[in-house]
């Protein structure tokens, strides 16, 4: 990348274009360097391993891996996201006031959000797809093209969200995080399973499983930092008139 001291006097297309674009000292000063560069910082990508690791860490966290009191509905994960829920009788830990609610979706969203899954950090109050409802994880997959029904034969991957319909009535009742899978069995880590964070396993043909939503942005290589854009030397005239190619004021004193 090189820089060239701009000439203070010129004629032609470049000068007319810049006067029309700028028409003032502020724009002229910005362009006086003769070149412009743009850069962006690469974003860190989530990984399937990081999703499972976070889910596992919550399973092992005895200060928040179960309701307090047991059976009360008071849980850390709803308190983390939805402060408008009732806190009556609930404790507070790690700076979070626990809240009373069904919380399988809040747990799964917590795991995805803290692993850096794309769009999992958007609050439901700001239009985020993921909410306190288990069905929102199917909605996520449907909206972003990562939804797989159980009957499709899709092999669940670590970090996927698995959703369940316990009653077979078409309503999704529960969601968990896939830890691993074999040809016949899917292993999960779930919130609000018997009032706690718990590991479970299911036959992949279990009719209670509706399907799986894969998280977005997984194992993606961050976009490389773009090359600077060199616009070359910008010849221009600093003039008080839009119809003149003659300097009336110097560019650099």
With helix as H, strand as E and coil as C, how does the chain read? CCCCCCCCCCCCHHHHHHHHHCCCHHHHHHHCCCCCCCCCCCCCCECHHHHHHHHHHHHCCCCCCECCCCCCCEEHHHHHHCCCCCCCCCCEECCEECEECCCHHHHHHHHHHHHCCCCCCCCHHHCCCCCCCCHHHHHHHHHHCCEEEHHHCCCCCCCCEEEECCCCCCCCCEEEEEEEECCCEEEEEEEEECCEEEEEEEECCCCCEEEEECCCCECCCCCCCCCCCCCCCCCCCCCCCCCCCCCCCCCCC
What are the residue ranges spanned by the domains of the chain? 1-39+226-253, 48-213
Given this model, what pLDDT does residue 218 score? 85
Give just the sign of the alpha carbon dihedral 170, 172, 173, 179: positive
pTM for this model (two decimals): 0.71
Given this model, what pLDDT does residue 132 score? 96
> What is the distance, to the nearest Å, from the Cα of residue 189 to the centroid of all Cα atoms in its chain?
21
8 A C-beta contact, residue 98 and residue 75? yes
Given this model, what pLDDT does residue 178 score? 98
Among 58, 56, 106, CA closest to 78: 106
What are the phi and psi torsion angles at 140 (to 5°)?
-60, -50
Given this model, what pLDDT does residue 19 score? 35
Instruction: Report how far residue 22's alpha carbon sits from residue 16's, in angstroms, rounded to the nearest whole number.
Output: 10
Given this model, what pLDDT does residue 36 score? 34
CATH of 48-213, one of 2.60.40, 3.90.1720, 3.30.450, 1.20.120: 3.90.1720
Q: Helix crossing, 104-115 with 48-59: angle to 10°? A: 130
pLDDT tens for the chain, 253 residues long, are: 444 444 333 334 443 333 333 334 333 333 333 333 333 333 467 999 999 999 999 999 999 999 999 999 999 999 999 999 999 999 999 999 999 999 999 999 999 999 999 999 999 999 999 999 999 999 999 999 999 999 999 999 999 999 999 999 999 999 999 999 999 999 999 999 999 999 999 999 999 999 999 999 986 544 444 445 554 554 545 556 556 566 655 555 4
């Amino acid at each position: 990348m090189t820089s060239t001291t701009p000439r203070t006097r010129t004629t032609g297309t470049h000068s007319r274009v810049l006067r029309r674009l700028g028409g003032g000292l502020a724009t002229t000063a910005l362009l006086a360097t003769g070149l412009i560069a743009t850069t962006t910082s690469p974003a860190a990508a989530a990984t399937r391993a990081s999703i499972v690791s976070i889910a596992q860490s919550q399973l092992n966290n005895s200060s928040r891996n179960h309701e307090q009191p047991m059976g009360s509905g008071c849980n850390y994960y709803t308190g983390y996201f939805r402060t408008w829920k009732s806190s009556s009788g609930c404790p507070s830990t790690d700076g979070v006031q626990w809240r009373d609610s069904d919380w399988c979706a809040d747990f799964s969203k917590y795991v995805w959000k803290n692993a850096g899954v794309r769009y999992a950090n958007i609050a439901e109050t700001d239009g985020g797809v993921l909410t306190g409802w288990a069905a929102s994880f199917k909605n996520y997959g449907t909206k972003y093209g990562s939804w797989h029904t159980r009957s499709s034969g899709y092999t669940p991957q670590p970090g996927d969200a698995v959703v369940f319909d316990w009653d077979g009535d078409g309503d999704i009742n529960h969601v968990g995080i896939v830890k691993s899978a074999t040809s016949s069995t899917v292993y999960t880590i779930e919130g609000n399973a018997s009032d706690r964070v718990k590991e479970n396993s299911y036959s992949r043909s279990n009719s209670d499983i509706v399907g799986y939503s894969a998280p977005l942005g997984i194992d993606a290589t961050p976009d490389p930092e773009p090359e600077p854009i060199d616009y070359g030397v910008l010849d221009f005239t600093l003039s008080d008139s839009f119809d003149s190619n003659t300097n009336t004021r110097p560019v650099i004193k």
